Structures are given as C-alpha cells and as structure tokens.
Amino acid sequence: MKMWKNLLFMDPSSPMMEQMIMFHDHTMMIIMMITVMVMYTIMYIMMNKLINMMINQEQMIEMIWTILPALFLIMVALPSIRILYLIEEMSEPMLTFKSIGNQWFWSYEYSDFKKIEFESFMKPNKMENIRIMETDNRLILPMKTKIRMITTSTDVIHSWTIQSLGIKVDSMPGRINQAKMLISRPGIYFGQCSEICGANHSFMPIMIESINFKYFIKWMKNF
C-alpha cells in the first residue's frame, strides 16, 4: 500500500508492473541525458565569445540535431510498444472474473467454476481499519495464475485500479473492457476507483487478497 512520503513506485507485485518500472527508469535516463546536453549547450553559447555573424548554414550540425532526436525517440518507442502488447496479450487464462462498477461500490462475479456473486463496500472508518481502503468483502484471487478480468459499469464511467499490479481499466456502461494480471506473491493489495464518478468517488476502494491456488479452490467450495 502507498504510504506517506513515499515518492517512489510501490513494490511491484506482478511482472507487468516490474516491466513498467524498468521502462520508467530507462526513459528517465534518456531524459536526464537530453537535459544535460541541452544545459551544456546553452551554457557554452552564453559564456563563449566566439561569434561569427556571417555563418548562414552548417550541414553537419543540422544533420546531428536531426538524427539524435530520432534515435532518442526510437529508444523510447520500441520498449513502449513492447509493453503495450504485453498489457493486452494473454494466452489461455486459467481464471476469469467480472468487476461491475456502481455508484459507489464494486460488485464481483466468478462464473468459471460456479456462480459466485458478491458486493464490496467500503468499511466504516474505525481505529482498526485502514481509512477508506478496506472493504467488507475482499476479492480473493490465486497467485501465480493467469487471470483475466472483464469489467463494465451500471451507471457512469469508473476505473478499476491496483497500482502495485500495474492495472488501470475503465469500467464503462454498455461496454466490456478486459485486462490481464498475474500476481507474483501472496498478500493484500489495495486500490481505488481512478475516474471521478460522483460525490462519493473516493469511497469505493478495491481490496484484493492473493492466496495459494489450493486455498482458492477451497474458498470457492466453501462460499
């Protein structure tokens, strides 16, 4: 969970989030390199006294400042396109669940094994609860399992978001969107609706509990 004064990313809990953090670091290194080069050039131009007002063109410089930006863009674009394909592609998911956004709570459906439906409301703000983050019914999912989520909405646009898993999917009325996830380790993961959807937008949290697949099957049998 995101804590106070944490300026960095949350610890990644899925391969997709790890890829996004690596891409962020890669892009930031390129941006820092460009910034240093531009600052050096500006300082050099301001401080040197070599001025030639008769120069009309310089083919070599123009070629350099055309080729270099193109190379930088390619260095950013190629890993970005790769991650975009990784986000969408999944072969043979082992589990599918449905998330439905409502004003202002989430409802979930499991239909692969047997029909399981429940609603997830925010818990009241008490000392033993994490403020506006805990729910009365957790979404139980198995770890190290290919999972497909399909989401929609009954009223307005919502957004189902878990930061540590690298997932943000819009839940839109009259439309079904899908996302994939693969949770790396057991634990409890928190998220919130990330689309302004009305007066109580900030009071519809998401709470996932990731468990072993064997215990997940046992939970479904006892539901």
Cα distance between residue 82 and residue 87, in whole Å: 9
Token pair of 110, please? 């499991």
The conformational region for residue 187 under phi > 0 = left, psi -120 to 50 = alpha, else beta, is left
Q: Report which DSSP code applies to 11.
A: P
Q: The dihedral of CA 150, 152, 14, 83: what is its sign?
A: positive
Token pair of 213, please? 């697949």
Q: Report which DSSP code applies to 168.
A: E
| pLDDT at site 113 | 74
Question: How remote is the C-alpha of 18 from its chain's centroid?
Answer: 10
3-class SS of residue 76: helix
| pLDDT at site 205 | 92
For the chain, the first-to-last Cα distance in angstroms comes to 27
Cα distance between residue 49 and residue 66, in whole Å: 26
Give the predicted TM-score (pTM) of the model: 0.78
- Domain edges within the chain: 15-88, 95-222
Domain 95-222 has CATH 2.60.40.420: yes
Consecutive 10-residue averages of pLDDT for the chain (223 residues): 69 86 92 92 81 71 86 91 82 88 92 84 79 87 91 92 89 90 90 89 91 88 78
Token pair of 169, please? 């999917």
| pLDDT at site 112 | 80
Q: Tell me, which fold does domain 15-88 have in CATH?
A: Helix Hairpins (1.10.287)
| pLDDT at site 101 | 93
